[in-house]
Amino acid sequence: MNDRPLISPDEAARIIGITKQSVIEAYRKGAIKGYKMGEGLRSPLALYRDTVEAYAKQRRERLPRRNGQKKSS
């Protein structure tokens, strides 16, 4: 059994700062890992929190700074 913490797409969206649909798309592309908790098209999705946090970090590092902000060292 895997003991990695799981979260919902809604919680992942709040952590990353994007829409739930964007989270689902990132899951489909393999950028966020998790699994469907059933066989149907509308089965709930469970995402591994560590991959969500890693995706959020990568996304923050890729986004350009606003208002002339400099990246802190």
Q: In the chain, where are the structural domains located?
A: 6-62
CA distances from 35 to 8, 46, 49, 62, 71 (A): 11, 5, 12, 26, 35
Separation CA 26–CA 46 (nearest Å): 13
- Which pLDDT tens digits describe the chain residue by residue (73 residues)? 468 999 999 999 999 999 999 999 999 999 999 999 999 888 899 999 999 999 999 999 987 766 655 555 4
Residue 63: predicted pLDDT: 76
Instruction: Evaluate if pTM is beyond 0.75.
Output: yes
